[in-house]
Structure 1
Amino acid sequence: MTGRSRLTRIAGPSRRSVLRERRFLRLWAGTTASGLATWALPFVLGLAVLERSFSPAGLGVVLAARTVGFLAAVPVSGVVADRYSRRATVLWAGLTAAAASPVMALGLGRSAALMAVAAAVSGAGQGACRPAFQALTTEVVDAARRRQANAAITLAVRVTTLAGPAVAALLAVLVDARGLLIGIGALWLVAALAPPAGVPAPRPETDRPGFWGEFAEGVREARRHPWFLAGLGALTAVIATGYSATGVALPLVSRDRYGSEAVLAGAATAYIVGAVLGAVLIARLRPRAEGWTALAGLACYGVAPLALLLPLHPAVVIAAYVLTGIGIELFNVPWFTAIQREVAPGKLARVSSLDFLLSYGLAPLGLALIAPAMGAFGPGPVLGACAVVCFAAPAAAALAPGSRHFSVR
């Protein structure tokens, strides 16, 4: 048995905790480093703006360039990771992002164009590693423990996101923004080098279709799973509305209704704390209707715009964001685990690339549209519409075949 069919290969019996497996810990270190590096770049560039070594306009251009690189690389990576080695894809994606970080440091304060190009390359590395990491997880962790593995990975990302600002602020006392950008490059090196080898790559086929043909095979595989298409549509709608409402409306509501940034800081922290709690909970929870439970968790995102719409006490707003954070992890962990379980192994990276491309990849579009919509119609109607979408989209997805268990079997 060779190639993608050897997905049960892992050291140790399945009853043993995945947290005691050296191979998984290496994978965990790599995915955690990539998540921390992805989060850190906007924060570090924000510090550069505060240092006056970078302009706010330049910040917007650089982050937009990173998004373009991400969107361009995700579908390519899905095809490459299914055609060749998932481990090699992670390696080259991480090395690409690592090489771009010192170039951004070199351009800081000197050339916004150089920084934008480097940011696009960094975004490409970030986008390329996401579907490859998803597929590599199935080669490192057996099916019985992937739920625990996915929970451990998302928990690590949430904890680092929670502690990251404080650590970065302390480091900023000792190191300027250029030094921190080089540190981001070091994180990408960890992401590239830490993960273990997966199964051997399949032998190249002489009659393979071209890139678009292989990508189309991934789309056809996704269409075989109605629950996946419905869930992805719900996730995309929730991120485009609820996530955008948080990104745009929360700072305004915190300033205008509550008179300070305290609610903004408290709600952002509460969301991450809730996500940590959700990851811990779902690692142990085994609901009978796993898919419906996950979609109910996703629908909890509607509580966020609803809390911003109503004149509530700040503590209630913060509690709403705790619930939102719990809900998103009640969705994420079963969602990733189901994709890894249900999708054909040789097409997993391509299907995962569709997931990231349509959900998180299109999030900037929602961020770009919600501010003009609030200006045209007012915050109330827009926040109300966002809440309705967040509640209705997962409910509609629950009607799709296979959605109850995220499986058509």
Structure 2
Amino acid sequence: MSSPSPASPRTPARRRRPAWAGRNYTLLTGAAVVTNLGSHGALIAAAFAVMEAGGSGGDVGLVAAARTLPLVLFLLIGGALADRLPRHRVMVAANALNCLSQAAFAVLVLAGDPQLWQMMLLTALCGTGTAFFNPAAEGMLLSTVSGEHANRAFALFRMAMNGAGIGGAALGGAMIAAIGPGWVLAVDAAAFAIAGALRAFLDVGHVPDRAPGGGLLADLREGWVEVRTRPWLWSIVLQFSVVVAVVGAAEAVYGPLVARDRLGGPAPWGLALACFGVGTIAGAVLMMAWKPRRLLLVGTLCVFPLALPSAGLAVPLPVWGLCLVMFVSGGAIEVFGVNWMTTMHQEIPEEKFSRVSAYDWFGSVSMLPLATAVAGPAEAAFGRTEALWGCAALVVLATAAVLLIPDVRHLTRRAKESGPRPAPWGSAPDPAPQTPARLDAPA
């Protein structure tokens, strides 16, 4: 009688991924890797496309503002729709819009002589896609893991995503220096097309039908109640409305200008952004093993280092020094990010998560268009160095204020789920369970 084959029950095949990393988690992680490879380089490319067309620092800020303004306008609608429609369809449609807008931007730049209004319009379309994508994406990701594995799953996802950002930023900066920003924008368009195709294969057969709501406004009111009754949530959203605004202005406007004038061009700035990505990977590796009990206290303390890049640009530090502070800030914000996602997974009901996530995103980016738009005038009025020091000070002040909220200091990780939580869809071994699992995890 022949010996058992390696795939027989006596010698099961070795698993290539953890048991909790099912099909949907794997597809979502792969798609995030692809989009981050393209988008990190594209952000740099957009700024240098404006400057190569003769634009000023104020013009760079206007294009950056055009990308973020649609987030403010459409995020809440996107969150409500994601809690009503199949989330994967919202994600694929948003990826398609991002692909088309970035492809048109690439053609415009490669053809030569792009106009400011054209670049603003196309980046605004890309921002619109992001507004509908983000709430749906967070709901999808968090619903693929159980509470027991949430911390590790979120850390691994963010490590893969940010690892792709390292390559994207470094490669994007090098490509801009070698062949120009237009081709980097074209790569970003292709990345959105590939990611949309991956997300189209998500398995949603076990997702229970959503109960009919009372209309879009009623859905938004329900989401608002979830936010305003949780002091830890609304206070951190307010904090990040300031932090995201000033950090975004520093990195989208002042960073490329300092790189052009003091660091030697786009390649060193791309390297600094890549070091930020390396830091996020280090932070994610740490969070794979570390489960702090006071989730939000630890996370909030790790927001203070986000002041370092603005301060480093204000000095300005040499390239190696800027890379060091970017690494530290990347690791620190990753600790915050994993703790934040774990807190949301623990505290927010799944059926309301996309709406709550939309309010989170809305509050966080609400001041970003204004900050990027006024970055140029602020530089003219006060000087670039003074504006950068102001950015650093605002990060410190907003973060210190959040620590005054008792819930931020005292909210703790629960050792076990407060109620029974079935195995997440997309990772259960039986592809056709009798009763669909409740999607009770944020994304």
- The TM tier, using the shorter chain, reads 0.7 to 0.9
What residue ranges of structure 1 are gaps of 5+ in the alignment? 1-15
Deviation at 1:355, TM superposition (A): 1.5
Q: In the TM superposition, what are the counterparts of 1:198-213 in structure 2 within 5 Å?
A: 199-205=206-212, 208-213=213-218
For the structure 1 residues 199 and 129, does the alpha-carbon distance in structure 2 shift closer, same or farther, using more than 3 Å as the test?
Answer: farther
Asked if 1 retains the 8 angstrom alpha-carbon contact of 2:35 and 2:192, the reply is: no
Q: In structure 2, what is the Cα distance between the partners aligned to 1:308 and 1:41?
A: 21
Structure 2 letter corresponding to 1:131:
P
- Which of 294, 297, 304 aligns to 2:299? It is 294
Show CA shifts across 1:148-178 (max 9, x none).
Answer: 2222222222222211245455698699738
Matched, 1:87 2:127: no
Asked if 2 retains the 8 angstrom alpha-carbon contact of 1:84 and 1:201, the reply is: no
Matched, 1:346 2:360: no
Matched, 1:307 2:325: no
Q: In the TM superposition, what are the counterparts of 1:238-257 in structure 2 within 5 Å?
A: 238-251=243-256
What residue ranges of structure 2 are gaps of 5+ in the alignment? 1-16, 415-443
Deviation at 1:61, TM superposition (A): 6.8
For the structure 1 residues 380 and 43, does the alpha-carbon distance in structure 2 shift closer, same or farther, using more than 3 Å as the test?
Answer: closer
Partner residue of 2:98?
A: 97
| TM-score between the two structures when normalised by the length of structure 1 | 0.79
Structure 2 letter corresponding to 1:90:
M
Q: In structure 2, what is the Cα distance between the partners aligned to 1:380 and 1:173?
A: 31
Deviation at 1:305, TM superposition (A): 2.9
The range that moved more, 192-201 or 170-179, is 170-179
Matched, 1:386 2:365: no
Asked if 2 retains the 8 angstrom alpha-carbon contact of 1:83 and 1:202, the reply is: no
Structure 1 letter corresponding to 2:154:
N
Partner residue of 2:68?
A: 67
Matched, 1:187 2:190: no
Show CA shifts across 1:313-339 (max 9, x none).
Answer: 664443222211111111111112211
Q: In structure 1, what is the Cα distance between the partners aligned to 2:21 and 2:192?
A: 28
Q: In structure 1, what is the Cα distance between the partners aligned to 2:251 and 2:399?
A: 19
Asked if 2 retains the 8 angstrom alpha-carbon contact of 1:98 and 1:187, the reply is: no
Deviation at 1:239, TM superposition (A): 1.9
Q: In structure 2, what is the Cα distance between the partners aligned to 1:126 and 1:203?
A: 23
- Which of 371, 379, 404 aligns to 1:399? It is 404
Q: In structure 2, what is the Cα distance between the partners aligned to 1:162 and 1:106?
A: 26
For the structure 1 residues 389 and 408, does the alpha-carbon distance in structure 2 shift closer, same or farther, using more than 3 Å as the test?
Answer: farther
Partner residue of 2:130?
A: 126
Deviation at 1:227, TM superposition (A): 0.6
Matched, 1:285 2:286: no
Structure 1 letter corresponding to 2:244:
I
| TM-score between the two structures when normalised by the length of structure 2 | 0.74
The range that moved more, 389-398 or 170-179, is 170-179
Show CA shifts across 1:238-283 (max 9, x none).
Answer: 2222442344444555566x56458645533332221221122122
Q: Which has the higher helix share?
A: 1
Asked if 2 retains the 8 angstrom alpha-carbon contact of 1:161 and 1:272, the reply is: yes
Structure 1 letter corresponding to 2:196:
L
Show CA shifts across 1:115-157 (max 9, x none).
Answer: 7655444332222111111111232111222222222222222
Structure 2 letter corresponding to 1:97:
N
Alpha-carbon RMSD: 3.7
- Which of 152, 155, 158 aligns to 2:159? It is 155
Asked if 2 retains the 8 angstrom alpha-carbon contact of 1:148 and 1:283, the reply is: yes
Q: In the TM superposition, what are the counterparts of 1:261-276 in structure 2 within 5 Å?
A: 261=265, 264-276=269-281
For the structure 1 residues 216 and 38, does the alpha-carbon distance in structure 2 shift closer, same or farther, using more than 3 Å as the test?
Answer: farther
For the structure 1 residues 367 and 182, does the alpha-carbon distance in structure 2 shift closer, same or farther, using more than 3 Å as the test?
Answer: closer
Q: Which one has a bigger Cα radius of gyration?
A: 2
For the structure 1 residues 102 and 387, does the alpha-carbon distance in structure 2 shift closer, same or farther, using more than 3 Å as the test?
Answer: closer
Q: In structure 2, what is the Cα distance between the partners aligned to 1:361 and 1:137?
A: 24
Deviation at 1:79, TM superposition (A): 0.2
Q: In structure 2, what is the Cα distance between the partners aligned to 1:320 and 1:98?
A: 33
The range that moved more, 56-65 or 230-239, is 56-65
Q: In structure 1, what is the Cα distance between the partners aligned to 2:72 and 2:315?
A: 35
Q: In structure 1, what is the Cα distance between the partners aligned to 2:388 and 2:179?
A: 39
Give % identity. 25
Partner residue of 1:78?
A: 79
Q: In structure 2, what is the Cα distance between the partners aligned to 1:237 and 1:126?
A: 20
Asked if 1 retains the 8 angstrom alpha-carbon contact of 2:61 and 2:252, the reply is: no
Deviation at 1:228, TM superposition (A): 1.0
Partner residue of 2:28?
A: 27
Which structure has more relative contact order (CA 8 Å, sep 6+)? It is 2
Aligned residues: 389
* Secondary structure class of the residue paired with 1:236: helix
For the structure 1 residues 195 and 27, does the alpha-carbon distance in structure 2 shift closer, same or farther, using more than 3 Å as the test?
Answer: farther
